């Protein structure tokens, strides 16, 4: 079992600060705004514009390429069904894993890993056969547009680095990649594991518990303007507060020799027990 380092709590608090402030600072001295759902929808809208442009330029769509590949027996409907099956199995098991006791989670995690490997192999084969499509090009441009919306000179995210999409779009490929890599590096800190740890630790839960009946008041922002990271953290926090109010006993205290993973396991186990009781009550 990994031992929690004294530094971990401070690192998690810094990640927490980034989530609450809605932005992260890059080592390149610019700031990366965390987008809310409305802003993510703007990225979707722009991606559709890119797609229509590439189609108008005669770039084939994925559907068109698949029709061609199936006509020459290089791909089949059966393989597409296999892809759907792997994805469904992965999704079902990811939902299940948080409802079972920790002792059962290893087997489910292995099942997920095995299905991911098979899915990756099929997707890699499919992508290699299809080649460049209008969707792939629009997806790439959509990533660039998301980067454009995220880059700011200041912590308040009031001064964009680029005044217009056209200015960002005119950058050389290596310069665009520089910004995208910087964003990926920063957002790695906001991975699911860290958010789950924060949601189960007292420095967050103690403050969050005071506004559990009015979550938007925690940041004094409408829910539609909360970033996706904020919504995810608050959702997990609401779950954990509910667990604390109904569970027997208390979570392990977070000390240097008690890793945050153990605290998370306690909440997951209690959640699985509560879900089990609710199922029994409905069936009874």
- Which pLDDT tens digit goes with each residue over 158-167? 999 999 999 9
What is the CB neighbour count within 10 angstroms for residue 73? 7
- Identify whether the C-beta of residue 227 lies closer than 8 Å to the C-beta of residue 34: yes
Q: How confident is the model at residue 4 (pLDDT cuts 50, 70, 90)?
A: very low
Whether 212 has a pLDDT exceeding 60, the answer reads yes
- Identify whether the C-beta of residue 189 lies closer than 8 Å to the C-beta of residue 15: yes
Whether 110 has a pLDDT exceeding 70, the answer reads yes
Whether 3 has a pLDDT exceeding 60, the answer reads no
The pair of three-digit structure tokens given for residue 134, joined into one six-digit string = 């209008």
Phi, psi of 161, rounded to the nearest 5 degrees: -65, -40
Sequence spans of domains, the chain: 68-131, 191-284
| pLDDT at res. 7 | 56
* Averaged pLDDT score across all residues of the chain: 89
Whether 1 has a pLDDT exceeding 50, the answer reads no
Alpha-carbon distance values, 268 to 5, 30, 95 (Å): 22, 37, 12
- For the chain, the 3-state helix, strand and coil shares in percent, each to the nearest 5, are 70, 5, 25
Q: How confident is the model at residue 284 (pLDDT cuts 50, 70, 90)?
A: low
Sheet (strand 31-33) strand order: 23-25, 31-33, 151-152
| pLDDT at res. 144 | 94
Alpha-carbon distance values, 133 to 47, 60, 83, 93 (Å): 14, 5, 19, 32
- Identify whether the C-beta of residue 75 lies closer than 8 Å to the C-beta of residue 247: no
3-state secondary structure string, 170-199? CCCHHHHHHHHHHHHHHHHHHCHHHHHHHH
SS3 state of residue 153:
coil
Largest CA distance in the chain: 65
pLDDT in tens, 134-185: 999 999 999 999 999 999 999 999 999 999 999 999 999 899 889 999 999 9
pLDDT in tens, 220-262: 899 999 999 999 999 999 999 999 988 888 888 765 556 788 8
Phi, psi of 227, rounded to the nearest 5 degrees: -70, 165
């Amino acid at each position: 079992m990994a031992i929690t380092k004294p530094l971990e709590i401070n690192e998690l608090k810094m990640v927490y600060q980034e989530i609450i402030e809605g932005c992260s600072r890059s080592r390149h001295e610019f700031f990366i705004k965390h987008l809310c759902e409305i802003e993510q929808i703007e990225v979707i809208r722009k991606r559709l514009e890119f797609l229509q442009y590439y189609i108008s330029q005669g770039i084939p769509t994925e559907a068109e390429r698949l029709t061609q590949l199936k006509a020459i027996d290089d791909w089949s409907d059966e393989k597409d069904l296999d892809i759907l099956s792997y994805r469904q199995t992965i999704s079902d098991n990811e939902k299940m894993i948080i409802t079972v006791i920790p002792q059962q989670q290893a087997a489910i995690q292995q099942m997920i890993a095995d299905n991911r490997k098979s899915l990756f192999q099929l997707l890699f084969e499919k992508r290699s056969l299809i080649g460049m499509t209008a969707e792939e090009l629009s997806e790439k441009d959509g990533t660039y547009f998301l980067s454009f919306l995220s880059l700011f000179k200041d912590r308040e995210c009031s001064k964009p680095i680029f005044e217009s999409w056209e200015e960002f779009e005119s950058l050389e490929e290596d310069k665009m990649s520089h910004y995208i890599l910087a964003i990926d590096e920063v957002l790695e800190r906001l991975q699911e594991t860290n958010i789950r740890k924060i949601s189960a630790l007292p420095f967050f839960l103690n403050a969050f518990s005071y506004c559990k009946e009015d979550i938007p008041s925690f940041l004094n922002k409408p829910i539609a303007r909360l970033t996706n990271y904020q919504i995810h953290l608050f959702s997990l926090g609401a779950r954990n507060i509910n667990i604390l109010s109904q569970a027997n006993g208390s979570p392990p205290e977070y000390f240097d020799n008690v890793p945050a993973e153990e605290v998370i396991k306690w909440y997951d186990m209690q959640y699985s027990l509560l879900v089990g009781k609710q199922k029994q009550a409905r069936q009874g």
